[in-house]
Amino acid sequence: MLPLEGITVIALEHAVAAPFATRHLADLGARVIKVERPGVGDFAREYDRSVHGEASYFVWLNRGKESIELDLKSDVDRELLLTMLDDADVLVQNLLPGAVERLGLDAPTLRARRPELIHCSISGYGPDGPYSDKKAYDLLVQCESGLLSTTGTPEEPAKVGVSVVDIATGMYAFSGILAALYERERTGTGATMSVAMLDAVGEWMMQPTYLSVYGEKPFRRTGARHASIAPYGPYRCADGTVFLGVQSDREWALLCREILRRPELVDDPRCARNTERVAHNEMITEVIEKALADQPVDEVVRALELCGLACARMRTPHEFFDHPQLAARDRWREVGSPGGRIRALLPPVTVEGQEAAMGDVPRLGQHSAALRREFGPATSAGTAEARSGSEVR
């Protein structure tokens, strides 16, 4: 039995942050019912068609869920949703700012009807303040949080290559919902919670913020190198690049003696301590790359690992799919999708004696008929006009 078996989650969700949270709930055994616009569905379904004709974002974020098409502007469908909520434990929503209030699905309304409900709202900038009605997407919040200014080269910023803001937000929503479920077990009372994308990635931004504010100098973009630790980043070898991470003065001494064969650098005042190494990072990079210039990457990696220094090769996403460590630990499973079977990675937390549910990815409206039979009389999905008018974020 998985930890969340018996828990029902209603998801009024689109794109990444909310689906990321609810998919993790589904992996733990919760029943997740995804409410989608009739005929259109979650707009992430149309981001691309790369996975057997389905969108890569959608198949990643929506396994193990049931899909029902509901027109939330239809009185009949909204009443069906309320009936579903009467049997639910959690509502997660990331509709447009103000949408749930206009639809009568806001936390005060629903929790007055059912105090044990956990109502979780995900937004870009929070429920109040001057940005509360502002639309928010991952890149835009990377900009507003200062994250974009910390990534890239000294000449040009670059966005983080994955939806890091959405992922951070979804993880905080997931952990908040788990905490609320635990509290409800003791008190019998649900919770009203909100998670803002700016707050979520803002937590992740505190180290560079502290460094910049209290260090009294602008944060420097350093490409793949670390801005405040050295040596830490890519170094050229004879046939490629190795990534090296030195985290302490002890490791620096080990690198100098065992790899660089330059023991005199251990106590050199320019690089004996991390602060000085960062200041003289160009000199250190030159020394390291000169020492590695005639050595293949495989040999450098073996030598670094033998003396206990952290290192890595840079892999592409395609190479990650076939990573030998994941294969050796049996971390892949097969799940169904509307276009065919796909490989899916197990969730990061491994609990002895349990395995994540790893359900199939639903096609749009796959469970509509069954859910309408379960929760109310069969109704039509609504008019074409209603289909084009649903509110989403």
Is 118 among the domain residues? yes
Same domain for 160 and 297?
no
pTM confidence score: 0.89
Contact 133, 98 (CB under 8 A): yes
Q: Is the pLDDT of residue 72 over 80?
A: yes
Instruction: Please give the average per-residue pLDDT across 261-286, as a whole number.
Output: 95
Split into its structural domains, the chain has a count of 2
Q: Is the pLDDT of residue 390 over 90?
A: no
Is 96 among the domain residues? yes
Tell me, yes or no, if 367 is annotated catalytic. no
Is 235 among the domain residues? no
pLDDT at 227: 87
Is 193 among the domain residues? yes
pLDDT at 387: 36
* Percent of the chain surpassing pLDDT 70: 96
Same domain for 275 and 130?
no
Catalytic residue among 24, 52, 119, 226: 226
Q: Is the pLDDT of residue 6 over 50?
A: yes
DSSP 89: S
Render pLDDT for 305-315 as a digit per residue (tens, 0 to 9): 999 999 999 99
Q: Is the pLDDT of residue 384 over 70?
A: no
Same domain for 98 and 131?
yes
Same domain for 158 and 288?
no
Same domain for 299 and 330?
no
Is 301 among the domain residues? yes
Same domain for 376 and 276?
no
| 128: CATH | 3.40.50.10540
Report d(CA 313, CA 60) in Å as an integer: 25
User: How open is the CA angle 240-241-246, to the nearest 5 degrees?
Assistant: 155
Same domain for 192 and 255?
no
Same domain for 169 and 263?
no
Domain of residue 266, residue span = 247-308
- Angle, helix 368-375 to helix 75-86, in steps of 10 degrees: 70
Same domain for 270 and 296?
yes
Contact 194, 121 (CB under 8 A): yes
Same domain for 257 and 373?
no
Render pLDDT for 81-105 as a digit per residue (tens, 0 to 9): 999 999 999 999 999 999 999 999 9
Same domain for 196 and 338?
yes
What is the band of 26 on the pLDDT scale with cuts at 50, 70, 90? very high
Is 19 among the domain residues? yes
pLDDT at 389: 40
Is 222 among the domain residues? no
Same domain for 334 and 296?
no
